Amino acid sequence: MKVRGINILIAGLGGQGVLLAGDIISRALLNEGYDVKASALRGMAQRGGMMLSHIRAGKKVYSPLIPKGRVDILVALELEECIKQVEYLKKAGSVFFLDRYMPAREAKGRKIKGPHSIIKSLKENFGNRAVQIPYDRALNNSRNVKTLNMFMLGVLSRYLFINKSSWFKSINETFSRNMRDDNLSAFSAGRNLYSTF
């Protein structure tokens, strides 16, 4: 255990693979020897609702939910869900966001922040701790909208202290053989996105 612990929040919409992404991170953290809790309520979110997955790791974890202002890393698969959760971030926290914008049906015809102003504010406030992942490139590189979550994890894996072997062990355990290749290749594509930086 190189780091004392970490709180990761994944935000997105039902169907985007938020739960699965949470499972993979938490198993990778388990492989690193941490106590881990991962919490996400399933149910209605399948029908297009918001989806949140709390992942906590440390020597001993009590509450499965991360308290406000204590999230180290926010991973967001949609911009509006991203700004809903920023208040949970630590001041020194980081945010990895896919720049995909799918406003809620309920927001129709009302004044809301557009995608550009959301991205601008995120960058202003978090500087280089706001890591933008371009949707077009992610979709291109992972070749499948269903593995975008894996692509995101790939990007994240470059910044996190988790060993490569723990990631791959977790991914191999999670997927059955016929799903594994697609997901592994999306993860690897994400891992290589910013490798040139």
Q: Give residues in contact with another protein (CB under 8 A).
A: 13-14, 23, 26-27, 30, 35-50, 61-65, 67-70, 80, 83-84, 86-91, 93, 103-108, 110-113, 121, 125, 145
Q: Considering the complex, what minimum distance in angstroms separates the CB of residue 190 from another protein?
A: 20
The three-point CA angle 177-74-136 to 5° equals 65
Q: Considering the complex, what minimum distance in angstroms separates the CB of residue 39 from another protein?
A: 4
Q: Considering the complex, what minimum distance in angstroms separates the CB of residue 70 from another protein?
A: 7
Q: Considering the complex, what minimum distance in angstroms separates the CB of residue 6 from another protein?
A: 16
Q: How far is CA 119 from CA 97, 123, 134, 168, in A?
A: 9, 6, 11, 31
Comparing CB distances to another protein, the nearer of 36 and 150 is 36
Residue type, 156: L
Comparing CB distances to another protein, the nearer of 3 and 41 is 41
Q: Is 132 exposed, middle or buried (0-12, 13-18, 19+ CB in 10 A)?
A: middle
Comparing CB distances to another protein, the nearer of 2 and 42 is 42
DSSP element (H, E) containing 52 = strand 50-58
